[in-house]
Structure 1
């Protein structure tokens, strides 16, 4: 298949389509995972900050007396709070809220109603905007490019007057690092996966096309064999006609020419009938409800009697052996079963030299009927036994052609056996003869 340009091109296309579809699916899945992870982390951060800001809001409002003024009691909630418009000169790495230590990166800001900074706690992001109203879905960025997520709440005094604004924020360094890790995995992982998918696609395309290629080879071989088989009789007919027409033939010569044409026409007709039979058996759906009961005892006896003349002419002893006198019945088409056994006997006679013998044996076990055709012919080499049921295949080409065989007999026999839910196998040793075994399901006549 590798040397066939048509199949290589088709394999490349199939592998490309498969890899492209898998790449699109993996890409969409990667983007979906990235978006879902980013949204999930952002939602978790927002809920965390909202909860923290709500805790501070609920704890601070009862302590606030005057708008824009922080009472000393606020330090009970935020022990490390720095009072004043300026940020703490050396801010701690962590903030303490109600004696609970938060992770690094948090900050708390208090602004009055005019937006002026009153106090800070925690981180001190340089250049971070502290407007009264901030958009919670849009991160803030400081002068160093670090991003922060911030939640803003309005504070009121204990009497319900507006006091100012509370800002609670957190650094997004860990969040961004996590997203960058996922991005790096997608950027480098997807191409790597595509290489693996591409290799797997090429391998799977080869596996998928292997049966197609074998069928293609069989069709090519079948076509070549048909052309070769048809060419032989047609060439003989053409040569005979040209020879006869080149001179005025005598009645004897004309009669001889007609006999040659008759033989070649018979050979062509027989070949075409065999091909049509195989074609019908390949295409037709088997309707076993139309099968009838067939007695194999009568079938074998009739065939041995029919071929006795041919065996005598070939100098081969043909005999039959019935293991039981009880009738053995199977379901099927009697004409085709007759053709199957006839092909096996004819094949055995062709490949058995003078002085040999062919025996047809009929028996049965509990579930199956067995027909065995044994000969003392030339035998079949082990390497050829797997191919003898191929169409147009011959073990001894010269001998088959001399006797008019086209190499379809065993192929037809096997097709008939399969059609009748049976099997056809061979046991052979080169130079010692062959044994063909046919098995059919038994049919009981009640």
Structure 2
């Protein structure tokens, strides 16, 4: 396939578009994966922060008496809280029972008054000079050192439901950002590697997909060349005959009849070849509308043995049949095509059997199949050529086949007829010992036979 530029270019284009499509799909999947992971972590962070903020908010409101004033009892909730104006109201010991035990692990708390003034702080605060209150519920901020924090702001009220101020709870999201950066890096590194693998796979799959197309193309090329060669031979012979006649001004009747007989033989060969080619073409397109009927294989074999007896005697070959069943073996098929099938096999066996040899047609019947074997004691076929004998225009022995007038289409037609009848055709052969063609057809069931005979 690499030697044909057309298929090479087609393979490149096919691999290119396949790689582009797969690249777009992988990119979309990678983007979707990153978005899903990012959203999942954002949702988890929000739920975690919301739980901590609302828990602290509910506990603080039970201990606030006056607006913007912190009572010492607040230390039960926030042991490490520091008041901006007066300093810390408790030591830096960490209680194991307070609400935000995680404050020392990246969380921070800020308390603002109603006017937005900072009253108290606790935990790992952002390193920023700006202390302005942002009343938005959710915020993501960046401090002066480039660290990012996610925070939540809630209104605070006293026990008697007066406005106390605002509560902000936040945490450092460096760990989340670090994880997402790792995911992003993995995708940025993984996608090019995946694309290279896709490109390689695309090239391989394109070649794999085009292989049967290329084989069919080669078969068509070979078929065209062989058909042209076979047609050229009788046409050239006819042309030579006609030219020789034109060079003979005085032509007697006997010579004229001989020339006409030669032209007739070549015309018959051309006609036979064209008919065979048209038949194979219709078989290829599955456009042959065969008239199906009840066919007796016993009768077909008996008729053909009688028909080719003279040919066998002329070739000094013994032709006989062995029918081991004592009842009619019937199948549904086209009798004309079945006659053509077995005629081709018998003629082929006679032509390739040396004088004093034997050709035997054997009919057997099994539970669901009928088997017909055409066995000869001829020259046989080499093992390496067994897989090609059913190819069109293929000859095991070209000189002998041409001498007998064959075109190399007989076995190809036989194979096509067997396939159209849902059967199988196999060949067993050994050089200098003979060949056996084995045809198998599905048998017609008895109940179906009765219906057909009744015309139902």
Shorter-chain TM-score: which interval?
A: over 0.9
Residue number in structure 2 paired with 1:80: 80
State whether residues 136 and 149 of structure 1, in contact with CA within 8 Å, keep that contact through their aligned partners in structure 2.
no
Structure-1 separation of matches of 2:149 and 2:2: 59
Residue 249 of structure 1 deviates from its aligned partner by: 4.4
Residue 319 of structure 1 deviates from its aligned partner by: 1.9
Residue number in structure 2 paired with 1:383: 384
State whether residues 362 and 372 of structure 1, in contact with CA within 8 Å, keep that contact through their aligned partners in structure 2.
yes
Residue number in structure 1 paired with 2:281: 279
State whether residues 236 and 264 of structure 1, in contact with CA within 8 Å, keep that contact through their aligned partners in structure 2.
yes
Structure-2 separation of matches of 1:337 and 1:325: 21
Residue 129 of structure 1 deviates from its aligned partner by: 3.7
Residue number in structure 2 paired with 1:293: 294
Change (3 A) 1:136 1:207: farther
Residue number in structure 2 paired with 1:404: 405
Structure-2 separation of matches of 1:138 and 1:62: 26
Structure-2 separation of matches of 1:66 and 1:92: 25
Structure-1 separation of matches of 2:298 and 2:46: 90
Residue number in structure 2 paired with 1:335: 336
Residue number in structure 2 paired with 1:358: 359
Q: How does 1:70-149 map to 2 (within 5 A)?
A: 70-85=70-85, 98=98, 101-102=101-102, 104-127=105-128, 129-149=130-150
Structure-2 separation of matches of 1:217 and 1:87: 93
Residue number in structure 2 paired with 1:16: 16
Residue 257 of structure 1 deviates from its aligned partner by: 1.7
Structure-2 separation of matches of 1:102 and 1:22: 46
Residue number in structure 2 paired with 1:151: 152
- Could you state the TM-score of these two structures normalised by the residue count of structure 1? 0.93
Q: Which moved more, 1:387-396 or 1:117-126?
A: 117-126
Unaligned runs of 5+ in 2: 451-456
Structure-1 separation of matches of 2:231 and 2:280: 17
Structure-2 separation of matches of 1:176 and 1:191: 23
What SS does the corresponding residue of 2:6 show, helix, strand or coil?
helix
Change (3 A) 1:135 1:343: same
Residue number in structure 2 paired with 1:167: 168
Structure-2 separation of matches of 1:87 and 1:228: 109
Residue 56 of structure 1 deviates from its aligned partner by: 1.9
Residue 212 of structure 1 deviates from its aligned partner by: 0.9
State whether residues 117 and 133 of structure 2, in contact with CA within 8 Å, keep that contact through their aligned partners in structure 1.
no
Residue number in structure 2 paired with 1:254: 256
Structure-2 separation of matches of 1:326 and 1:73: 111
Unaligned runs of 5+ in 1: none
What SS does the corresponding residue of 1:63 show, helix, strand or coil?
coil
What SS does the corresponding residue of 2:108 show, helix, strand or coil?
strand
Deviations 1:171-212 (A, max 9, x none): 010110111011111101111111222222222222211111
Q: How many residues align structurally?
A: 443
Change (3 A) 1:328 1:64: closer
Residue number in structure 2 paired with 1:28: 28
Structure-1 separation of matches of 2:86 and 2:174: 25
Deviations 1:299-356 (A, max 9, x none): 1121111111111222222222222343222221111110111001110111112222
Structure-1 separation of matches of 2:249 and 2:139: 109
Change (3 A) 1:134 1:42: farther
State whether residues 153 and 165 of structure 1, in contact with CA within 8 Å, keep that contact through their aligned partners in structure 2.
yes
Change (3 A) 1:18 1:238: same
Structure-2 separation of matches of 1:393 and 1:334: 27
State whether residues 328 and 364 of structure 1, in contact with CA within 8 Å, keep that contact through their aligned partners in structure 2.
yes
Q: Which moved more, 1:262-271 or 1:352-361?
A: 352-361
Residue 399 of structure 1 deviates from its aligned partner by: 0.7
